[in-house]
Chains A and B, each alone.
Chain A
């Protein structure tokens, strides 16, 4: 067992960190170890051992005349830097506490049971980090030719 893991388990045993924190730390250690191994084996590996991270989120929407009412097919193509998403999620941390309850109620009414006070900026950062591998393809059915594609590049 590595020294890092032993230290984490010691911290857990000493009650200095929670089980959840210990799990995250161990995962981070494993990820770091795997990354350094990959960097050593791959000539093109980066200094941190990870593949180049996507820089942009792309959203493509295609619709035809029936949907848009405009002549010919319509395509909307948006490219947003991931940095902008990261900055944007920080806005959630600026929502006044007194507005949380109203927002929670509104979310629940619309079928999204979210408690805003439980969402921390670091949680949102994790979501953004996981977007790297995101690809969403939506094709219309039953004669609806709308296509939506969301991916990172």
Chain B
């Protein structure tokens, strides 16, 4: 399943009385919807390019799909003295 959303949490001024917290849910499915028409146009062009450079276009699409569909449950956390950023793909 491709990632439908991303949770982003940011804390800054950590450990101080002025600590701020921000939590966002980014609807990635809207990004996919917006990109879909563009991808439909690009697919034949990419396939043509693949023929020229000798790459199997079907395998390329399959690999790209596998990579995108493997992204859910990936997370990245960066913590410094003042900031904390956490991004989680769901």
Contacts and interface: CB of A to CB of B under 8 A. Distances in A.
Interface of A: 56, 65, 68, 70-81, 83-84, 86-88, 90-91, 93-94, 96-98
Given A68-B80, A77-B76, A94-B59, A88 B67 contact: yes
Given A70-B82, A75-B78, A77-B79, 20 more contacts: A56-B73, A70-B80, A71-B80, A72-B81, A73-B81, A74-B81, A76-B77, A77-B76, A77-B77, A79-B74, A79-B75, A79-B76, A80-B74, A83-B70, A86-B70, A87-B70, A90-B66, A91-B63, A94-B56, A94-B60
| Closest CB pairs A-B (n = 8) | A72-B81, A87-B66, A84-B70, A77-B77, A83-B70, A71-B81, A75-B79, A87-B67
Interface of B: 53-56, 59-60, 63, 66-67, 69-82
Contacts of B74: 79-81, 84
Contacts of B59: 90, 93-94
A53 to B, nearest CB: 15
Nearest to B57: A94
Contacts of A71: 80-82
**For A76, A80, A94, which residue has the most chain B Cβ atoms within 10 angstroms?**
A94
Contacts of A84: 67, 70-71, 74
